Amino acid sequence: MEIQVPNPEKVRTLSVRLLREDCAAGTSIKPEYAPEGRRNTLRQGEWPGVEGAELYIGQIYSSTPSWVSFVEEQAGAQSDRLLASGAGAVVFLPVGARTMAICFGHIHLALQDDAFERQFGLKVTLNSVPRDGLRTLDLATPDAVTFQKRVQASKDSDLQEFGVDMLRDLARVAGGTPTDTQFARFLAGRDSLSITCKVGSDDLLEKCEQILAVYESNDYKQRFAWIDNMQVVRDKATLEQLDLKLFNALGALRHGRESALHMAPPEVVNYEEGNLLHYNGFGSGGTDFHSLSIEDYVSELNRCGFDGTIDEIHEKHYVRTKVASSDTFKEHWKVYQCFTFETTLGAGDSRNSYVLFSGGWYCIQRDFKRQVEERFAQIPKVNIIGPTECQNERELIAKLIETRPDLLCLDQVKINPRGVRYANIEPCDFFSDAKQFIHLKDGHSSGPISHLWAQGVVSAEALVSDPDFRKKLRDVVKERRRSVLALLPVVDARVRRSEYTVVFGIMRKPYRNGDLDLPFFSKVSLQAAVDRIDQLDIPVALEIIAKPASDRAGEEDMGGAEAVDLCDDE
75 and 215 part of one domain: yes
Q: Give the DSSP H/E element, type plus range, for residue 313.
A: helix 310-316
The pTM score is: 0.71
CB-based contact 336:314 (threshold 8 Å):
yes
Q: Give the DSSP H/E element, type plus range, for residue 504.
A: strand 501-508
430 and 542 part of one domain: yes
Q: Are strands 352-357 and 339-345 parallel, antiparallel or unpaired?
A: antiparallel
182 and 280 part of one domain: no
Residues 426 and 371: their CA atoms lie apart, in Å, by 32
Residue 150 has, within 13 A of its CA and on its CB side, a CA count of 8
- Is there a domain that residue 353 lies in? no
What does the radius of gyration of the chain's CA atoms come to, in whole angstroms? 28
For the chain, how many structural domains are there in total? 3
- Is there a domain that residue 178 lies in? yes
- Is there a domain that residue 152 lies in? yes
423 and 497 part of one domain: yes
- Which range marks the domain in which residue 279 is found? 236-345
Q: Are strands 540-546 and 501-508 parallel, antiparallel or unpaired?
A: parallel
Question: What are the pLDDT digits (tens) for 458-486?
Answer: 999 999 999 999 999 999 999 999 999 99
- Is there a domain that residue 105 lies in? yes
Strands (E), 107-176: 134-142, 146-157, 170-176
282 and 376 part of one domain: no
403 and 388 part of one domain: yes
101 and 72 part of one domain: yes
CB-based contact 189:125 (threshold 8 Å):
yes
268 and 386 part of one domain: no
Identify the domain boundary among 313, 345, 377. Answer: 345
325 and 251 part of one domain: yes
- Is there a domain that residue 214 lies in? yes
pLDDT (tens, 9 = 90+) of the chain, 570 residues, equals 455 556 666 899 999 999 999 999 989 999 888 887 777 678 898 888 888 999 999 988 777 777 777 787 777 777 677 777 788 999 999 999 999 999 999 999 899 988 999 999 999 999 999 999 999 999 887 766 677 788 899 999 999 898 887 777 888 899 999 999 999 999 999 999 999 999 988 889 999 999 999 999 999 999 998 888 888 898 889 999 999 999 999 999 999 887 878 888 887 766 544 477 889 889 887 788 888 889 899 999 999 999 999 999 998 999 888 766 665 666 678 999 999 898 889 877 778 889 998 888 999 988 888 889 999 999 999 999 999 999 889 999 999 999 999 999 999 999 987 666 556 889 999 999 999 999 999 887 555 688 899 999 999 999 999 999 999 999 999 999 999 999 999 998 889 999 999 999 999 988 766 778 888 888 888 998 999 999 999 999 999 999 987 533 233 333 333 333 333 343
- Is there a domain that residue 557 lies in? no
Residue 84 has, within 13 A of its CA and on its CB side, a CA count of 7
3-state helix, strand, coil in the chain (%, to 5): 30, 30, 40
Name which of 369, 339, 331 is nearest 357 in CA terms.
Answer: 339
CB-based contact 376:526 (threshold 8 Å):
yes
Residues 383 and 374: their CA atoms lie apart, in Å, by 20
189 and 43 part of one domain: yes
- Is there a domain that residue 351 lies in? no
Q: What is the DSSP string of 172-226?
A: EEEEE--S-TTT-SEEEESSSEEEEEE--GGGHHHHHHHHHHHHT--THHHH-GG
Neighbours of 284 (CB within 10 A): 17
44 and 146 part of one domain: yes
Name which of 531, 528, 526 is nearest 543 in CA terms.
Answer: 526
Name which of 11, 192, 203 is nearest 93 in CA terms.
Answer: 203
Name which of 506, 515, 359 is nearest 438 in CA terms.
Answer: 506
Identify the domain boundary among 182, 209, 231. Answer: 231
276 and 382 part of one domain: no
Identify the domain boundary among 212, 231, 250. Answer: 231
Cα–Cα distances in angstroms (integers) from residue 457 to residues 168, 452, 531, 532, in the given order = 18, 9, 10, 7
Backbone angles phi, psi at 79, to 5 degrees: -70, -35
- Is there a domain that residue 355 lies in? no
Mutual orientation of helices 120-128 and 204-215 as an angle, nearest 10°?
80
